[in-house]
Structure 1
Amino acid sequence: MPSVRRDRADPGPGAGNTRARYRRILRFAAWHLAVTWWFELFLPRIGLGSIAARTRTQRMQRFAQRFRVLAVELGGLMIKVGQFLSSRLDVLPPEITRELEGLQDEVPPVPFPAIRALAEAELGTALDQVFAFVDEVPLAAASLGQAHRGRLLPENAADAGLREVVVKVQRPGIEAIVDVDLAALRKVGGWLSRVRLVSSRADMPALVEEFAQICREEIDYLHEAANAERFAADFAADDRVAVPGVVWEWSTRRVLTLEDVTAIKITDTESLLSAGIDPVQVAPVFASVMFEQLFSNGFFHADPHPGNIFVTPAGGSPAGGSWKLTFIDFGMMGQVPPGTRGGLRKLLIAAAERDGKGLVSAISDVGVLAATADRAELERAMTHLFGRFGGMGFAELREVDPREFLEFAVEFGDLVRSLPFQLPENFLLIIRAMSLTSGMCSALDPRFNIWDAVEPYAARLLREERGNIARDVAQQALDAAGLALGLPRRLDGLLTRIEDGTLSVANPRLERQLARLDRTARRSASALVFGALLIAGAVVRADDVVLGTVLMTVSVLPLLHALSAGRRGR
């Protein structure tokens, strides 16, 4: 049979109307890219940029509204694309992000008979052979699957160690839909990669592939279950965080059975207050837990929207006092490579210290700022930003004279757009997590000040960094000292061999030189230990005065030894 050549973006044959779906996505993208080119590139070139500026807000709103309609009608990954766009508060205008926010909870559910059929095929048995009860009304309906409350049969509950569960079932046929949507997104990414303004800032095909990997992992529920257990292990010693248990016996790639941990939705301020929990106190704890994931663990929840986080009162009952943050839905998780994590830690410390130059350096280390960027100009702008607005929370920023804020925003925005920024890989989820964290904290506390949350965490990171430096210096010094202190024994062995005649050398001058080398080695070892103790003491003293002073005082002993050894040598 002759082979059939197929374009990489062609979805190929599939069930139902997959080709119609593919063509509809491409028509939508092509039309809006053409409109954007006409207004944002062509009209300014012929001196009609004012027309584009006047109609920009309305065009953005129309685009967001039409995309929302498309996403709701098609479902699948279009919902995910809309969710990503709604969280890009850093680059997209509010006309788009506000319109797309509601996509989180707007997916129509799949009828229960279809869900039952898929679940029974996956589990290999009837649902009533596993569960005493499964609620046919979904607890939540998402773009890739939906969740139903259930109760395990007594014998299964005894094996699992829990009774009340949530059964998460994949939407029937979702894998074929994901394939079609990814094919369309790859085609659109290829179009965007030919636009210099886009390609200079992001490798669109690489970003699409990163998005594809995220989505494929999200529809593998065994992968989600493993993520939940890894997340639980990261916070096993942290009493601020809870994670649902996994019922592995009744979980597959398309069906996931979890402990039911439903509690108060994190943004339900009325219920929080009724339970005696102050939402203002929840915000900094949530921010700190997210910082811990991003900057310390390197493994983070990348979809922390309000539906995925509960506030659970102590003992599971609203009695006020202590509470926990309960995370659910671990299908979309991110990992921060060690190199990127170091840059992010540096960025956080620089932001807390209002260090504009350090912040620019960290941005460059992370890979967001291209090497050709005018760093001096960006440093000046960052210093100005910190000097004027650095300590303000969101509520305080609203009280700034709008003219002053607008003037700076225009100047700073023009500078940022002129710089050769780029979006490195592994950053889609980091940006999403940070954007959602900021928005959630503001919803909990309108006067939430991000600096109040950043500063204590950054101070801890700074202490850890200093401790690492001190340990590294001390270890290097001890290694060198060990080598130097071992040298006399090796020299003694050499002298013994000379005396025994096993080494035929008879030269008194050589013996004097060896003795001098012995003294020099001992003196060098003492000097190294002195330097290590002095530097370590100076670094540690900034955070622990007593320990730092002790280390600096003890450093005098090896210094005296080095000086006395030098005098004896003379």
Structure 2
Amino acid sequence: MTELPRKAAARTARLAALPLGYAGRQAMGLGKRLGGRPADAVLSEVQQRTAEQLFRTLGELKGGAMKFGQALSVLESALPEELAAPYREHLTALQDSAPPMPTATVRQQLTTHLGADWRTRLVWLDGAPTAAASIGQVHRGRWLDHTDGGGERDVAVKVQYPGAGEALMSDLRQIARVARGVAPVFPGIDIKPLVAELQARAADELDYTLEAEAQSAYAEAFADHPDIVVPGVVAVGGEVLVTEWMDSAHSLAHVIREGTQEERDHYGELFVRFLFEGPRRTGMLHADPHPGNFRVIPAPDGGLGRLGVLDFGAVARLPHGQLPEAMGRLIRIALDSDQDSLVAGLRAEGFIKERIEVDPAMLLTYLAPFVEPAAVERFAFTREWMREQFERINDPRAETFTLATKLNLPTSYLLIHRTWIGSLGLLSQLGSTVPFREILEESLPGFGDA
């Protein structure tokens, strides 16, 4: 067996073992309960060991496993506290780090995708990565501009792991098969649609040329923004993307762990402004809202800094060059508690199919996560609020759980919906209080006009 098939087989075996490990620890817990140990102590130990195996495996495997773990990490704030606590350390670790690729492999990738003469342009490359993620890692370097007077500038060199495409798709197929077994680790979070969406977007994320086009558009659109920074693209070739270097202190993952309330509010507001201004300025939605993609750029005077944005591999190219007008209009209608107009509008957009009847009052309750942040001048996002929303929607004992089975999510809203939910999760992890309503009025089509 050659090296690549051996590694692929090992990855598949480790992913397949995840639900078996969980089942084994449940059996272990049953035995301990029969032996007289308190049920809550046994549950905590089972959760801790499960978390350690699950997220260590996801982190080490990179590819689709890593991406799946990062997507789950944003939703950590929705888990009940007694379940979230054992996982939090492992979840948040996935937001900002991953094991590095060997230096020799990096140089081979540069030769393959930038050409054998890459050293004439990339005149210095740091051997240690500054960041590593699901399908690639980033190194700092210096780029010589032969066409611009021969000056040098600092750059970020993003290098895709060899075989990342094959590994990514293989992992996601395997995770889709074992999703049912992993699901008990995350009660209240529907794993299968999350994996399906990751599979659907995988090809775009592997295409660095497509990513370069999106990042260039964003960099140009935000070039004059006082608080948001998007690095420009310097060069792209196959599985290598070179962009301008951005001096950054740390990511939002650090603010989540250690930030002051002032920092949480400031960067949370900048994140929301970027989220909604992006479509208005570029016709695209940045659709990967995990904390590692958002960087804190220190202010020269030591005050609150700017927000840098990275990773444009996952973007939604919006059909009409903006977020759907109906989206803002329906949120406004829900705020006004106009039940009949809300049902009619959701039916027209395909959220409620023909011959399906719903309780309008219950529908308003179900839509609370999308409506409540816009109901007040400044909304305080908290882990407790996020957990309440998930419990209200996902608890089989709740009336709204039955309603969820009657609603449909149109294809055109899939990525928008996942981005919105992920963004609410990020804001809840941050614990930010932001002028959400004001931002929607400025940037969400249909909301300010309704």
Q: What TM-score comes out, normalization by structure 1 length?
A: 0.59
In the alignment, the residues of structure 2 paired with residue 406 and residue 170 of structure 1 have an alpha-carbon distance, to the nearest angstrom, of: 35
Q: Taking structure 1 as reference, are residues 157 and 215 closer, same or farther at Cα in structure 2, changes over 3 Å only?
A: farther
Structure 2, unmatched stretches of 5+, are 27-38, 184-188
Q: What's 1:319 paired with? A: 301
Q: What's 1:120 paired with? A: 111
Q: Give the secondary structure class of the aligned counterpart of 2:5.
A: coil
Q: Percent identity?
A: 27
**287, 292, 300: which is aligned to 1:307?**
292
Q: Taking structure 1 as reference, are residues 15 and 72 closer, same or farther at Cα in structure 2, changes over 3 Å only?
A: same
**234, 239, 253: which is aligned to 1:247?**
234
Q: What's 1:454 paired with? A: 437
Q: CA deviation at 1:254?
A: 0.8
Q: Taking structure 1 as reference, are residues 374 and 227 closer, same or farther at Cα in structure 2, changes over 3 Å only?
A: same
Counterpart code for 1:262 = D
Counterpart code for 1:292 = E
Please list, as runs of the form range in 1=range in 2, the aligned pairs for 1:441-520 lying within 5 A after superposition: 441-442=427-428, 446=431, 448-449=432-433, 452-455=435-438, 457-458=440-441, 461-462=445-446, 465=449
Please list, as runs of the form range in 1=range in 2, the aligned pairs for 1:52-201 lying within 5 A after superposition: 63-88=50-75, 93=80, 95=83, 98=88, 99-153=90-144, 155=146, 158=149, 163-185=153-175, 187-188=177-178
**206, 211, 216: which is aligned to 1:219?**
206
Q: Taking structure 1 as reference, are residues 171 and 57 closer, same or farther at Cα in structure 2, changes over 3 Å only?
A: same
In the alignment, the residues of structure 1 paired with residue 301 and residue 353 of structure 2 have an alpha-carbon distance, to the nearest angstrom, of: 53
Q: Taking structure 1 as reference, are residues 29 and 343 closer, same or farther at Cα in structure 2, changes over 3 Å only?
A: farther
In the alignment, the residues of structure 2 paired with residue 427 and residue 58 of structure 1 have an alpha-carbon distance, to the nearest angstrom, of: 39
In the alignment, the residues of structure 2 paired with residue 321 and residue 259 of structure 1 have an alpha-carbon distance, to the nearest angstrom, of: 24
Higher helix fraction: Structure 1 or Structure 2? 1
Q: Give the secondary structure class of the aligned counterpart of 2:124.
A: strand
Which whole-Å deviations, capped at 9, do the CAs of 1:421-454 have from their partners, x for residues lacking one?
A: 455445554344334433444565x4x445x322
Q: CA deviation at 1:156?
A: 6.3
Compute the RMSD of aligned alpha carbons.
4.9
Q: Taking structure 1 as reference, are residues 427 and 170 closer, same or farther at Cα in structure 2, changes over 3 Å only?
A: same
In the alignment, the residues of structure 2 paired with residue 406 and residue 176 of structure 1 have an alpha-carbon distance, to the nearest angstrom, of: 34
Q: CA deviation at 1:335?
A: 3.5
Q: Give the secondary structure class of the aligned counterpart of 1:181.
A: helix
In the alignment, the residues of structure 2 paired with residue 31 and residue 364 of structure 1 have an alpha-carbon distance, to the nearest angstrom, of: 44
Q: How many residues align?
A: 416
The answer as to whether partners of 2:123 and 2:142 remain within 8 angstroms in 1 is yes
The answer as to whether partners of 1:311 and 1:325 remain within 8 angstroms in 2 is yes
Q: What TM-score comes out, normalization by structure 2 length?
A: 0.72
Q: What's 1:434 paired with? A: 420
Which whole-Å deviations, capped at 9, do the CAs of 1:330-370 have from their partners, x for residues lacking one?
A: 11222344597233222432455566666666655555556
Q: Taking structure 1 as reference, are residues 31 and 457 closer, same or farther at Cα in structure 2, changes over 3 Å only?
A: same
Per chain length, whose mean CA-contact separation is higher, i.e. which structure has more relative contact order (CA < 8 Å, sep 6+)?
2
In the alignment, the residues of structure 1 paired with residue 153 and residue 341 of structure 2 have an alpha-carbon distance, to the nearest angstrom, of: 52
In the alignment, the residues of structure 2 paired with residue 92 and residue 269 of structure 1 have an alpha-carbon distance, to the nearest angstrom, of: 20
Q: What's 2:8 paired with? A: 18
In the alignment, the residues of structure 2 paired with residue 269 and residue 336 of structure 1 have an alpha-carbon distance, to the nearest angstrom, of: 31
Most deviating of 278-287 and 410-419: 410-419
Q: What's 2:241 paired with? A: 256
Greater Cα radius of gyration, structure 1 or 2: 1
Q: CA deviation at 1:220?
A: 1.9
The answer as to whether partners of 1:284 and 1:441 remain within 8 angstroms in 2 is no
In the alignment, the residues of structure 1 paired with residue 348 and residue 45 of structure 2 have an alpha-carbon distance, to the nearest angstrom, of: 38
Q: What's 1:476 paired with? A: none
Which whole-Å deviations, capped at 9, do the CAs of 1:451-483 have from their partners, x for residues lacking one?
A: x322452377457636xxxxxxxxxxxxxxxxx
Q: What's 1:558 paired with? A: none
Which whole-Å deviations, capped at 9, do the CAs of 1:7-52 have from their partners, x for residues lacking one?
A: xxxxx9953332343244234357769999xxxxxxxxxxxxxxx9
Q: Give the secondary structure class of the aligned counterpart of 1:105.
A: coil
Q: Taking structure 1 as reference, are residues 287 and 109 closer, same or farther at Cα in structure 2, changes over 3 Å only?
A: same
Counterpart code for 1:69 = R
Q: CA deviation at 1:65?
A: 3.8
